[in-house]
Amino acid sequence: MIDLSLDREIPVLDWGPHLSGRVKRMKSSAIRELLKLTQQPDIISFAGGLPAPELFPLREVEEACRYVIRTEGDRALQYGPTEGYLPLREWLATSMHKYGVPAVPDNVLVTNGSQQALDLIGKVFIDPGDFVITSRPTYLGAIQAWNAYGARYQTVDLDDDGMVVDQIEEAYERAVRESGRPPKFIYVLPNFHNPAGTTLSLERRQRLAEIATRLDLPIVEDDPYGALRYEGEDLPPVCTYVPERTIYLGTFSKTLTPGLRLGWIVCPEVLMKRFVLAKQGADLHTGTFAQFVANDICQRGFLKPHIQRLRRVYKERRDTMLEALAEFWPEGCSWTHPQGGLFLWARVPESIDTTEFFKRAVEEKVAYVPGVNFYPNGDGGFNAMRLNFSYSPPEKIVEGIRRLGVALKKELGMM
C-alpha cells in the first residue's frame, strides 16, 4: 500500500545528473544572497532599482482596468498575438518617430519587461562561447540572461561620457582571436547607464553607429531610463543613426509601473520574425490585460505629464543624494553626476573592497550593490558601488548616505 498522506516522508532526488549543461552557467549571484540581508525594515536600501511606489498612478490604473474590462473585456482577458496588442504596438512605434526612426507596428514586439527582451536576444543570437561587447561595468541582468546561453564578454572602458567606443575595434579583434569568429553584438546603455549613471555623448553615439557599421556588428541599445532626464538636452538614441542594425529596448517599468511587466523591442522587421518565434516558444505572448491597460493609459495622453512629475521628484532625490555624499563621505571618495535615471556610481578608497564592506554597511543599516557584480568578467569595480536614488524619500537618502559615511570612516580608521 502506497502512503499518500500529507505527512509522509518524500525522498529527495539527486537532480544533478538530469539537468542540462546550461544550468552550470546559471549560478546564483552572490548579490541575491546579499540582498536578502536588506529585507529588514530598518535598513535603508540603495541596492534595488525600484521606482518610488508612492508615485504609482493608482487612480489612472484603476480607471484603465475598469474601462478596459467594461468596453472590451472579452478581448482584454483572452489569448492574444505573440507580437503584442496592435494599438499598443502602434503607439510604441509612433513614439520612435520623434527620434527619426520610422518604426511601424511590425517593428515592435511587446515583452515581459525588458529582461525578457534580453533573454530573447540571447536565444536568437548567442551560441556557447560567443562574445558580446559591453562596457565595464554593465547591466547585471543582461549578463545573467546571456550567461545562460554561454556568452563570453569582451569589455571596453566607461568614463563620464559613457562607453569608450574607440576601444570597440580592439575588443572585436580580441573576440575574433579568442573564439575564431566575430562577437555577436555591442551592448550599450546610452542614457543614465545602469550602474554607472553616465550618458553616452552625442559624438560617441554617432561614432558607435559608424564603428558598428564598419565592423558589421548589431547594436543592442537598452534604454529603460531615457524618459527620466533631470538636466540637459535629450540625445537621439543610437538607433536613430543605424536603425537597420539596432535592437532598441524600452520598458514601462520605470515610467508607468513595474508590476504590469511590460517592455518592448524595436528592431528591423526581418529580425522581428525571429524574436516572435522565440517568444512564441517562451510564453506565447505577454499578458493581454496588462497590455490593454497600458495602452489605455498611453492613448489618453497620461504618460507625458506623469513622467514630468517623476522627473521633478527623482531630480530632487538625485540632488539630495549628491549633496549628502558631499557632506557625509570622507575624502578619497568620488561619484558620478547622472543627468537622469535611477542610479549613481560611487568609488571609495582602494583599500576598501565593497563586497567585504557590505556586511559593515548592513550593520549600520544601509545597503548598496557592490561594484564587482557589474563587471561581466569580475575584473573590476572592487572599490565601487551602485547607489539607487529613486526609491527612498529624501530624508531617508540623507540618513542612508550619512550611515554609509560613518561605516566608511570606521573602515578607514577615521572614527
Residues 239 to 268 in contact with its own copies, rule: CB under 8 A: 240-241, 243-245, 253, 257-261, 268
Exactly one of 30, 40, 53, 178 binds its own copies (CB under 8 A); that residue is 53
**For its own copies, how many residues bind (rule: CB under 8 A)?**
97
User: Do 318 and 344 form a contact (C-beta atoms < 8 A)?
Assistant: yes
Query: Is 348 in contact with 333 (CB distance < 8 Å)?
Result: yes
Q: Nearer to its own copies by C-beta: 149 or 382?
A: 149
* Sole window of 50-58, 315-323, 379-387, 400-408 interacting with its own copies (rule: CB under 8 A): 50-58
- Is 193 near its own copies (CB under 8 A)? no
Q: Identify which range of 281-289, 312-320, 333-341, 406-414 contacts its own copies by CB under 8 A.
A: 281-289
Greatest extent of the chain over all pairs of C-alpha atoms, in Å: 76
- What is the residue type of 33? E
336 close to 385: Cβ distance less than 8 angstroms: no
Q: Which has the closest alpha carbon to 242: 263, 220, 261, 259? A: 220
> Which listed residue (278, 344, 352, 387) binds its own copies by CB under 8 A?
278
Q: Which one, 85 or 357, has the nearer CB to its own copies?
A: 85
Contact at 8 Å (CB) between 84 and 110?
Answer: yes
Candidate list 89, 136, 152, 184; residue touching its own copies; CB under 8 A:
184
Residues 92-151 that bind its own copies (CB under 8 A): 97, 100, 102, 111-113, 115-116, 119, 123-127, 130, 141, 144-145, 147-149
Give the dihedral sign, CA 49/54/60/65: positive
| Subset of residues 344 to 403 that bind its own copies, contact rule: CB under 8 A | none
Distances (CA, A) of 322 to 111, 231, 337, 383: 34, 14, 8, 19
Instruction: Give the binding range for its own copies (CB under 8 A) out of 14-22, 166-174, 350-358, 372-380.
Output: 14-22
Contact letters for its own copies, residues 314-353 (x by CB under 8 A):
----------------------------------------
Mask: binding to its own copies, 23-42, rule CB under 8 A, as x and -? x--xxx---x----------
State which residue, 283 or 363, has the beta carbon closest to its own copies.
283
Least distance between its own copies and beta carbon 383 (Å): 27
CB of residue 280 to its own copies, shortest distance in Å: 7
Which single residue is written with the C-alpha cell 482584454?
Answer: 76
Query: What is the chain's Cα-based Rg?
Result: 22
Burial status of residue 246 (CB atoms within 10 A of its CB: 0-12, 13-18, 19 or more): buried
63-92 residues near its own copies, rule: CB under 8 A: 65-66, 69-70, 73-80
Distance CA 80, CA 234 (A): 35
Query: Which residue from 95, 255, 288, 320 is in contact with its own copies, where contact means CB under 8 A?
Result: 288
Q: How far apart, in Å, do the first and last CA atoms of the chain sit?
A: 69
Nine cell digits for residue 71: 468596453
Cell 576598501 belongs to residue: 352
Q: Between the CA of residue 200 and those of 114, 208, 235, 322, what are the distances in Å?
A: 20, 10, 9, 20
**The binder of its own copies chosen from 169, 174, 215, 236 (CB under 8 A):** 236
Q: For residue 11, state whether it binds its own copies (rule: CB under 8 A).
A: yes
Output the DSSP codes for 165-190.
Answer: GGGHHHHHHHHHHHHSS--S-EEE--
Q: Which is nearer to its own copies, 53 or 378 (CB)?
A: 53
